Each structure stands twice: as structure tokens, then as C-alpha cells.
Amino acid sequence: MLLELKGITKLFDKDNGVRDFNLTVAEGEFITLLGPSGCGKTTTLNLIGGFLQPDRGGIWIEGRDITHLPPEKRPVSTVFQSYALFPHLNVLENVAYGIRFYRKEKKKQALSLAREYINIVRLGGYEKSKIGNLSGGQQQRVALARAMATNPRIMLLDEPLSNLDASLRHSLREELKSLQRQLGITMIFVTHDQSEALSLSDRIVVMDKGYAIQIGTPREIYFYPISDYVAGFIGKSNILTRAGETIMVRPEDIKMAKNAQGDYTISSITFMGQHTEYIISAEDTTLEVVALGKENSKFMQGDRVNVTITHQLGQTGQGDRFFVP
């Protein structure tokens, strides 16, 4: 195992921090820490990076206990949301700095390696550019190159895309994933954006109030959420009662059929092109339904429908694998 976190606890006060956190990461994995603001994602990353010391528990990299090593002695590099580049150095100097500092390379070799990494992040031609003259996306690519160039065993990325506009964010997300695959770098990525987590990760750690609530592949987390918190945080879900049981159902797992005596009435329709979103209501229930394609966009407001459920997530309040209270 490349990285092991065992029973890590770091509390700032009785409510805030990270509690009894366990995670093992294999070489080349892309792991995402996902959760709302304040759930402990950055704290976890800072514990791995060595910027914080745990109150309890330990951290191992390739079997070596690194719990008490300072950040610069750990084979780990971090990319921050704010880029954290040196404004007085140009692109080439920024990337070469990390190589000289961490890999102890001579200047000439550092510059030559830096050029390679600048090409990898597709900034060839910008070597002499001042940091302040680059766009946000370009600056973040410099930060990625600088972190990768130190040849870390693990890269930590703290919301690296969140300062970018939506389309840039999307394209840099694709680039990041392809770089990670191409170079086989192990990455631990922090986000509160579920689509980023689902599309990038080999495994996702869903966090809440300092706890790792569920660790699994994107498909496991989406189709088999362990609690209603997870089901509600990733994707949307409806809660309804059927035959006396409370169940949770994704909007895309409800199929509608027109029926003049149907139980539900369509109360709102949002056409999104690829899919259509419906709100349907019965006496005591309101459901969100998502339907794909042209055939499924034919319903009208006020139509009466019956519904069929094709997949349900689990039962609430049962205390079993699903929906631990």
C-alpha cells in the first residue's frame, strides 16, 4: 500500500477537525475527499502534507512512518486553490525552483526538467512569461507542473479548480485526469463539487463533520449510498413511502406513464435538452423525476400519471447497510 492513514484524529475544538480517519491508498489511485464546507477535507490534506500534526493515529507512506516528519521531508507535494506561485519569478523559474529545492538538482538540469514539465501541462512557449500575465487556468497549470516536477510519491490537490470559470474548470478537469493516467501519479483531491468527484475519482471519501462516512468507487457511492446523508449529497434523491416502508429513489429511477386516473399530477416541467425534469405530486408526496430523450419530454403540466420505480436505494431508519441513522 502506498499510503495508510490509521485512526487519525485532529480536533481544533470539540466540534471541528477530523475524527478517527482511516484510509489506504494504492499506487496510482485518484482519491477524492468530498463533503460540505467545514467537514474536514483540508485538515485531512494538511495532516498528510505535514502542515498539521494529528492528536492521535499515524500516517505511513510505503510502510515508513511519516507522522512526525516536517512537510519538506515527505514525498508529497501540494497544489493549492490559490496557486501559491512566486510572483517575481517567471514560469520556468517557478517550476525549476521546486526541482532544485526538493530534488537537489543543479541549475542546468533543473531548467531542462522544468521545460519538460511545462510542455506536459501544455505551456510550452510561456517559459519566460511573468506569472501576473497568465490567466487563472494557465497559473494553475504552472502550479501543477511545479508540484509534479518535484517527483512526489503523492500529489495533494486542495480545490485546485475552484477559482476558475465553469468551462475552464471543465477542460482543466479533463486535462488533470489524463495527466494523472499518463504519468500514473497518485493524487488526493479535495472538492465539494460532486460532479468533479464522480468524474475524476477511482474512489471517493464522503466526509461529514470530521468523519469519513463512506469510501467507495463513484458507482458504489451513487448506487449504494450508505446513508441518507450520502444519497442526498451525491446526486438527488426522493424519499417516499411505499407499502408502509420509507424508501429513497433517484429521480432517473422513476418512470411515468400517462393515466387519467393516475396517482400523480405533473406540477412543473423544466426542459433541459438532453433530459427533462419534472416535479410530480400526489396528496402527500412530491417527487422529482428526470426523463431522457424526446419520447420522455411529451408530458404536459397538469397531466395525470402513474409511476414505476426501477431501482430504490434502500430503506431509511433500518440501521442496516443502507441508511444508518
Ligand X SMILES: Nc1ncnc2c1ncn2[C@@H]1O[C@H](COP(=O)(O)OP(=O)(O)OP(=O)(O)O)[C@@H](O)[C@H]1O
Decide: 303 and 266 in contact? Cβ < 8 Å.
Answer: yes
Closest to ligand X by CB, 41 or 250: 41
| Closest to 168 in 3D by CA, of 135, 144, 193, 130 | 135
Q: Is 38 in the site for ligand X (CB under 6 A)?
A: yes
Closest to ligand X by CB, 17 or 314: 17
Q: Kindly indicate which of the ranges 32-40, 262-270, 282-290, 310-318 contains the residues binding ligand X, using the contact rule CB under 6 A.
A: 32-40
Q: Is 39 in the site for ligand X (CB under 6 A)?
A: yes
Residue with cell 541549475: 107
The 3-state DSSP class for residue 20 equals strand
Q: Which of 14, 37, 182, 243 binds ligand X (CB under 6 A)?
A: 37
Q: How far is the CB of 17 from ligand X (least distance, A)?
A: 5
CA distances to 21, 132, 238 from 125, rounded to whole Å, are: 44, 16, 51
Decide: 81 and 143 in contact? Cβ < 8 Å.
Answer: no
Q: Is 225 in the site for ligand X (CB under 6 A)?
A: no
Q: Which of 74, 169, 192, 203 binds ligand X (CB under 6 A)?
A: 192
Q: How far is the CB of 207 from ligand X (least distance, A)?
A: 7
The contact pattern for ligand X, residues 2-21, with x = CB under 6 A and - = no contact, is ----------x---xx----
In sequence order, which residues have a C-beta less than 8 Å from that of residue 18 and are 6 or more positions away?
A: 8, 9, 10, 11, 40, 43, 44, 47, 210
Decide: 197 and 220 in contact? Cβ < 8 Å.
Answer: no
Q: Is 101 in the site for ligand X (CB under 6 A)?
A: no
- Helix/strand/coil (H, E, C) string of 124-150? CCCCCCEHHHCCHHHHHHHHHHHHHHC
Q: Kindly indicate which of the ranges 37-45, 116-124, 234-242, 244-252 contains the residues binding ligand X, using the contact rule CB under 6 A.
A: 37-45
Q: Catalog residues that contact ligand X under the rule CB under 6 A.
A: 12, 16-17, 35, 37-43, 192
